[in-house]
C-alpha cells in the first residue's frame, strides 16, 4: 500500500506518526518548507520524522503545481492522505493516487465545513461535534464520508482540549482508513448537502476581546482561540496583553465600574468587569512589561 501524505501542522504530525507506528510509512510526504512556519500557529516541521521513517520529502506551497504532481506520480501511490493543508486540491492532484485522495476535517460533516472549525465549534456553543475522514472532491469539505466519530463538546472545552480529542481520533482513524482502502472496503457515504454549514476564516486579530460583551461571551472567546491558536487579547497602555485562561466569578454587584475596567488584583491575576456587569478573574496572562494592569485602569478592545 503506497501512500502520499500531505500536511504541515500538529495534527499532520500525529497522523503521520500513527501511520509510521503500524508500518505504513508514506512513500512521499509533502509539506511546507520550514522557513514558512509562520503561516500556521500550529506548524510542525515534518521532514525529520518523514526521513527517519524512510519517506521521501517534497517541500511546496502549492500541491497542485506540476513539480508536486510529478513527485507524486513517481512513487505510484495507491492513496493520498491530506491532513492539515489549507488549499483546495484540484482534480489532477486527486487523480494521481489510483484509489483517490482522503482529507480530514475536525467537524461532523456536512456541518461546519470550511476554516477555523475548532474555534467556531466553541464560539457557537456546539454540544456535539465529530472527526471526519472524507474523499476529496471539487468542493470544500463536501466529498463522501469514509469514517466519522461523533462526540460531546464539554461545556468548558478549550481549543487545546478539543484539538486533542480530534487528534486522538485521527491517530486511530487514519490507520483504520488505510486498511479499509487496501481491502477495497472503504465506505463512500454521500453527504446531505442541504444540511451543510460553512465556517469563515479567522485571523489572529479576531482574538481581540470586546469588553462590552457578557462575561460568558468573553470567556468563550478565551477558550476558543487559545493554544494552539494565537489567543485572546486586549490592550493596556498601548501594549498588547494576552489572556490565556480566565474564569467567571460571583461578585454580587460588589464591583461598579466600566466595561473593561480592572476592578482588583488577585493572587495570580486580576478581575475585569464585563458589559453585563459580571466579572472574570484572569488567571493566565502575558504583557510586554510582565506586570498586571493597574487597578481601575481600562483595557481596550
CB 46 within 8 A of CB 7: yes
For residues 156 and 150, what is the distance between their CA atoms, to the nearest angstrom?
18
For residues 17 and 5, what is the distance between their CA atoms, to the nearest angstrom?
11
Tell me what pLDDT residue 208 has.
98
Residue 293 lies in a domain: no
Q: Could you tell me the pTM of the whole model?
A: 0.93
Range of the domain at 8: 3-199
Asked if residue 64 and residue 208 are part of one domain, the reply reads no
Residue 122 lies in a domain: yes
Q: Which of 169, 103, 87 is nearest to 142 (CA)?
A: 103
Domain of residue 230, CATH code: 3.10.25.10
Asked if residue 172 and residue 89 are part of one domain, the reply reads yes
Tell me what pLDDT residue 42 has.
84
Tell me what pLDDT residue 301 has.
80
Asked if residue 98 and residue 217 are part of one domain, the reply reads no
Asked if residue 192 and residue 138 are part of one domain, the reply reads yes
For residues 16 and 174, what is the distance between their CA atoms, to the nearest angstrom?
9
Strand partners, 261: 298
Number of domains in the chain: 2
For every one of its 301 residues, what pLDDT tens digit does the chain have, with 9 covering 90 and above? 999 999 999 999 999 999 999 999 999 999 999 998 778 888 999 999 999 999 999 999 999 999 999 999 999 999 999 999 989 999 999 999 999 999 999 999 999 999 999 999 999 999 999 999 999 999 999 999 999 999 999 999 999 999 999 999 999 999 999 999 999 999 999 999 999 999 999 999 999 999 999 999 999 999 999 999 999 999 999 999 999 999 999 887 899 999 999 999 999 899 999 999 999 999 999 999 999 999 999 999 8
For residues 244 and 221, what is the distance between their CA atoms, to the nearest angstrom?
10
Residue 218 lies in a domain: yes
For residues 114 and 200, what is the distance between their CA atoms, to the nearest angstrom?
7
CB 90 within 8 A of CB 64: yes
Q: Which of 131, 136, 128, 120 is nearest to 201 (CA)?
A: 120
Q: Is the dihedral of CA 153, 159, 165, 167 positive or negative?
A: positive
For residues 15 and 145, what is the distance between their CA atoms, to the nearest angstrom?
18
For residues 83 and 100, what is the distance between their CA atoms, to the nearest angstrom?
14
Of the residues 184, 199, 214, the one at which a domain ends: 199
Amino acid at each position: 500500500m503506497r501512500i502520499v501524505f500531505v500536511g504541515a501542522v500538529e495534527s499532520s504530525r500525529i497522523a503521520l506518526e500513527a501511520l509510521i507506528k503500524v508500518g505504513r510509512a508514506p512513500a512521499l510526504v509533502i509539506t511546507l518548507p520550514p522557513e514558512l512556519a509562520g503561516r500556521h500557529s500550529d506548524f510542525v516541521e515534518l521532514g525529520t520524522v518523514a526521513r527517519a521513517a524512510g519517506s521521501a520529502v517534497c517541500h511546496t506551497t502549492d500541491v497542485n503545481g506540476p513539480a508536486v504532481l510529478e513527485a507524486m506520480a513517481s512513487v505510484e501511490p495507491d492513496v493520498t492522505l491530506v491532513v492539515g493543508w489549507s488549499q483546495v486540491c484540484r482534480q489532477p492532484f486527486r487523480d494521481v493516487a489510483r484509489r483517490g485522495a482522503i482529507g480530514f476535517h475536525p467537524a461532523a460533516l456536512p456541518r461546519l465545513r470550511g476554516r477555523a472549525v475548532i474555534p467556531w465549534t466553541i464560539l457557537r456553543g456546539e454540544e456535539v461535534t465529530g472527526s471526519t475522514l472524507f474523499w476529496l472532491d471539487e468542493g470544500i469539505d463536501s466529498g463522501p464520508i469514509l469514517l466519522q466519530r461523533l462526540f460531546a463538546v464539554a461545556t468548558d472545552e478549550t481549543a487545546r482540549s478539543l484539538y486533542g480529542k480530534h487528534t486522538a481520533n485521527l491517530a486511530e482513524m487514519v490507520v483504520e482508513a488505510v486498511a479499509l482502502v487496501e481491502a477495497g472496503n472503504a465506505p463512500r457515504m454521500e453527504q446531505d448537502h442541504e444540511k451543510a454549514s460553512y465556517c469563515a476564516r479567522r485571523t489572529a486579530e479576531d482574538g481581540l476581546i470586546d469588553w462590552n460583551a457578557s462575561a460568558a461571551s468573553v470567556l468563550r472567546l478565551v477558550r476558543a482561540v487559545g493554544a494552539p491558536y494565537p489567543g485572546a487579547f486586549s490592550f493596556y497602555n498601548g501594549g498588547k496583553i494576552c489572556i490565556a485562561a480566565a474564569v467567571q466569578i460571583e461578585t454580587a454587584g460588589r464591583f461598579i465600574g466600566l466595561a473593561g475596567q480592572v476592578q482588583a488584583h488577585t493572587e495570580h491575576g486580576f478581575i475585569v468587569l464585563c458589559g453585563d456587569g459580571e466579572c472574570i478573574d484572569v488567571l493566565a496572562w502575558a504583557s510586554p512589561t510582565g506586570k498586571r494592569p493597574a487597578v481601575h485602569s481600562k483595557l481596550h478592545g
